[in-house]
Amino acid sequence: MSAKILITGAAGFIGSNLAENLIKSGLEVIGIDNFSPFYPREMKEKNIALLKENPNFHFVEGDIKDLERIKSLPEFDLMVHLAAKAGVRPSIENPQDYIDTNITGTHNLLKLCVDRSVKKIVFASSSSIYGNSKHLPFVEEGHEYEPISPYAFTKRSCELMNHTYHHLYNLDIVNLRFFTVFGPRQRPDLAIHKFVRLLEAGEEIPMFGDGSTARDYTFIEDIVSGIVSSIKYVQSNSEVFEILNLGNHTPVKLKDMINAVADVVGVKAKIKQLPMQEGDVDVTFASIEKAEKLLNYRPETSFKQGLEKFYQWHQKKQESFSRSSKQ
């Protein structure tokens, strides 16, 4: 796998973990990120601090909505497009921001690839595009999609736009539908990270609904492995347009997730039950047969193992913060 790879959203949770993996493999990586204020810039800066010391990592601060800025990016051979405005609930409050970043930003990048004759693309989609499909587990083809949030419809729109560019310009594209990724560097607004902080502080855990909703939690190392396999797949094949689920094929109910997180932290959860929120789907459940067949994708980290690894990272982060605050 020899290539110069562009990673959009390179300072984020998935992007920084992927960049580290590729750099360790001896590849050259160009990263772009706009340090969106969705969560503290300092966290993203720490994600890529060590990467910036490596001569094979070239970082550009910029926004994918800014076409002139991305035109100034160094040359690359393959793009892994992870950058997006994330979050189901905030997308309901401000859908235009999601349209601008996720759809217009993706279009800018597709145009850049066409202009530079870059043919190979891996795109980060989302399990949210399935909505409340009753066909379980979720299979990539064979049923209607019914997104129930602006975030979800922007991701589905990008998949369709990718297909148009594949058809018109012969771009080889693998679309990866991620299922609830968690692990070290996870965004602080996401449930596991948030619940750990609340449990440590002795505060109540907000549980939306009766706790029966379920998510197919997928550990970051398994997701990165799937992306790397997708890079190899798109490099070694032509006339490619694929949509693949990257999940763990094991949904975990919300009430069970809360108890599992509490066990790892070593406390008993105090739960505050609240009504279901708009845009939240009932269940996510990935069929991963297609990814197994095409990518040899096999998630290796159980939910409990992933939680333990996340909490170890969280504790180290807290210890590091405590030391730096005393200096």
Asked whether residue 166 is domain-assigned, the answer is yes
Whole-number Å distance between alpha carbons of 1 and 233: 10
The confidence score (pLDDT) of residue 325 equals: 47
**Contact (CB, 8 A) for 80 and 5:** yes
Task: Tell which residue, 248, 221, 247, has the closest CA to residue 308.
Answer: 221
pLDDT digits 0-9 by tens, 169-182: 999 999 999 999 99
Q: Going residue by residue through the chain (327 aa), what tens digit of pLDDT does each one get?
A: 568 999 999 999 999 999 999 999 999 999 999 998 888 899 999 999 999 999 999 999 999 999 999 999 999 999 999 999 998 889 999 999 999 999 999 999 999 999 999 999 999 999 999 998 888 899 998 777 889 999 999 999 999 999 999 999 999 999 999 999 999 999 888 889 999 999 999 999 999 989 999 999 999 999 999 999 999 999 999 999 999 999 999 999 999 999 999 999 999 999 999 898 887 888 999 999 999 999 999 999 999 999 999 999 999 877 665 555 455
Task: Tell which residue, 80, 79, 24, 89, has the closest CA to residue 50.
Answer: 24
Using CB atoms within 10 Å of the CB of residue 324, give its burial: 0 to 12 exposed, 13 to 18 middle, 19+ buried.
exposed
Element (H, E) at 61: strand 57-61
SS3 assignment for 237-302: CCCCEEEEEECCCCCEEHHHHHHHHHHHHCCCCCEEEECCCCCCCCECCECCHHHHHHHCCCCCCC
Asked whether residue 128 is domain-assigned, the answer is yes
Number of separate domains in the chain: 1
pLDDT digits 0-9 by tens, 156-173: 999 999 999 999 999 999
Asked whether residue 80 is domain-assigned, the answer is yes
Sign of CA dihedral 183, 36, 214, 133: negative
Q: Residue 242 is part of a domain; what is its CATH number? A: 3.40.50.720
What's the domain range around 21? 4-182+219-247+285-295
Asked whether residue 187 is domain-assigned, the answer is no
Asked whether residue 307 is domain-assigned, the answer is no
Helix or strand or coil: residue 79? strand
Whole-number Å distance between alpha carbons of 120 and 108: 15
Asked whether residue 277 is domain-assigned, the answer is no
Asked whether residue 200 is domain-assigned, the answer is no
Length, in residues, of the chain: 327
Whole-number Å distance between alpha carbons of 219 and 234: 23
From its phi and psi, is residue 296 left (phi > 0), alpha (psi between -120 and 50) or beta? left
The confidence score (pLDDT) of residue 278 equals: 80
Asked whether residue 109 is domain-assigned, the answer is yes
- Active-site annotation, residues: 151
